[in-house]
Structure 1
Amino acid sequence: MVQKTFGIYTTTDTTAEEERLYVELGQRHIALWTAEETTRQILAFELFEHEMSPLDSLAEVLKQVKLFSRLLDNRYAKTQVIWENQECLLVPNSFHDREIAPNYLDLMFGNSVNTLVQEQQRPAEQMTAVFRIPRNWKDAAQQYFPGAAFEHKYLQLYYRFSNDPKGIYTLFYRSHFILILVKGFKVQLLQTFDYQTPEDALYHILNTCNQYKMDYDTTPVHVEGLIDLNSPMYEELKKYLRDVSTAEPSGEWQIGSEFAQHPPHYFLPFFKMMS
């Protein structure tokens, strides 16, 4: 089952040569947005949520998405596909060995069948993302987005937060969130946690603080994504964490008035992926 959660479209006149399509293929969602190449203005955003298991057919989900998407019928100068799944490890290049990389994943996440082990490097950051995706995901993505560039979300997030001094950053989706812990201008942890209740999410954040010896009262916790500031989730975080705030757009991209009915932090986990 696929449900369209967001459909926001601007009236800016552009040509296909000026637009870039971004596609985030997630564990429980597919997000699509377009941006003007030179001004980096967001032109449209769609979010579809699905109940696909990891080995279900992504092609079938994309087929359903295409029925209700206004973005997949167009042609674009460039397409960027972002994998958003938790079976990913960031390995310093000096320790990376392609031959044994699959063993890293088996050790952390268990053995898997019908999956592909993929790698992506950012030489400037001296880091390699080693991850695996269901084989049918790769086949479907190449079918629907021929010629697209591919990257894993973790590596882009590592790049985004490596220069921050200290803090915990949480990117919320409907039933999972990505946690990035930064300490001493270095990303110490980047991990996905599932949750069903506010207490689940709070536990993972507090437990992370304990493991990395970071004080609850002085550690800033930045929240972004699909979380309402009047929700029990946000209230629970505020109750136990002294320095909680929503992240703000950095100014690297622009959104129009069509987005004004929603708080900007809803879109940050997606638009931060714009390279």
Structure 2
Amino acid sequence: MARKIVGFYCEDSAATDKQLVVEIGRHQFACMIKNTETDEVEAFELFQLDETPQEWNDVFYEIRQYSTILQQFCSSIRLFYNFEEAMLMPGEQKNIVAAEDHLSLLYGESEWHELKYDKIGTKDQLLNAYRIQRSIHELAGRYFPSHEVHHVYAPLLEDILLRHRQDGKFMKLQFYSHHLVLVLINDQQLQLVQSFEYQTAEDVLYHMLNTAQQFALSPSSIPVEVSGFFDRDGELHQRLAQLFQTVQLDEIVAGDILQKIAEAGYPSHYFTPFFKLADYEDHIR
């Protein structure tokens, strides 16, 4: 049910202050160890879930059995959920109360989910409200006690706002094995963050062009940044370069682990979405 796709390990350091960073999604499970003294990732593992799990207890158990990282002691744990049931709202206190109703309107009523939220941006002007299946959240608490929890939208948006808030227009694509996260900035304002399932290049192009059309934007006026499981030599990259203003890869600079990735034959932008989770603490107020 869970297969280890990659594992990168640097020489174990003598540091005593290490942080475990975990991402849990519908199709993947990633974990890494960050040396908080050097701010470098020292180990990384990515597991692929064969299908949408029905028994998450089996998933957690299998990953614990096959993971080298999860056998190690870390002084702190940060957990990120990567599920599509999330929405961005203005950061007023009243929206925290209304978030559950808004999510129910979008994704349907559910008695089996927990409501969570992250405050984003300077002065917490944005609220990312999300819900997580209660059984997953309870298992996470059992396997990763005393963890700090966020949605992957939080570090993604903080990073984009830090680097691109002054851009007139900007689109970010973050690719995973079966879904992508799309972020749009227009007129220096964050307009959209949303997850989309995809199977083909045509699916991706549809979501991008439809988003541009919704905001009355010409694709040729939008610079695009891409990270994750994206083939820079593939047809999709060629199509994007023809339709959009520019296409740039968001590549990590991750110390010794980057050399391990290069030696294994992977481009560094493949793992940028995961490694940036380890940097999120730098932006937490």
Regarding TM over 0.5, the answer is yes
Residues 98-134 of structure 1, C-alpha deviations (whole Å, 9 max, x = no match):
4332110011112224111222334733222211111
Give 5+ residue unaligned stretches, structure 2: none
Does the 8 A contact of 1:79 with 1:149 survive in 2? Answer: yes
- Among 264, 268, 272, which residue is 2:272 paired with? 268
Residues 51-73 of structure 1, C-alpha deviations (whole Å, 9 max, x = no match):
4537x232210111122110011
Partner of 1:174: 177
Determine if the alignment matches structure 1 residue 259 to structure 2 residue 258: no
Distance between the aligned counterparts of 1:216 and 1:73, measured in 2? 47
Partner of 2:139: 140
Determine if the alignment matches structure 1 residue 208 to structure 2 residue 211: yes
Partner of 1:58: 56
Residues 202-256 of structure 1, C-alpha deviations (whole Å, 9 max, x = no match):
110111111122222231111110112123333343343342221233x5x5343
The count of aligned residue pairs is 271
Say which SS state the counterpart of residue 96 (structure 1) adopts. helix
- Of Structure 1 and Structure 2, the greater helix share is in 2
One-letter amino acid of the counterpart of residue 68, structure 1: Y
Determine if the alignment matches structure 1 residue 13 to structure 2 residue 13: yes
Does the 8 A contact of 1:119 with 1:129 survive in 2? Answer: yes
One-letter amino acid of the counterpart of residue 10, structure 1: C
One-letter amino acid of the counterpart of residue 75, structure 2: A
Give 5+ residue unaligned stretches, structure 1: none
One-letter amino acid of the counterpart of residue 121, structure 1: K
Distance between the aligned counterparts of 1:37 and 1:95, measured in 2? 33
Does the 8 A contact of 1:247 with 1:265 survive in 2? Answer: yes
One-letter amino acid of the counterpart of residue 196, structure 2: F
**Counterpart mapping for 1:190-269 below 5 A:** 190-249=193-252, 253-256=254-257, 257-260=259-262, 261-269=265-273
Question: Which moved further from structure 2: 63-72 or 155-164?
Answer: 155-164
What's the % identity of the aligned pairs?
28
Distance between the aligned counterparts of 1:113 and 1:232, measured in 2? 43
Distance between the aligned counterparts of 1:185 and 1:255, measured in 2? 36
One-letter amino acid of the counterpart of residue 203, structure 2: D
Does the 8 A contact of 1:162 with 1:185 survive in 2? Answer: no
Distance between the aligned counterparts of 1:155 and 1:186, measured in 2? 16
TM-score normalised by the chain length of structure 2: 0.88
Distance between the aligned counterparts of 2:234 and 2:61, measured in 1? 33
Say which SS state the counterpart of residue 227 (structure 2) adopts. strand
One-letter amino acid of the counterpart of residue 91, structure 1: M
Distance between the aligned counterparts of 2:17 and 2:207, measured in 1? 42
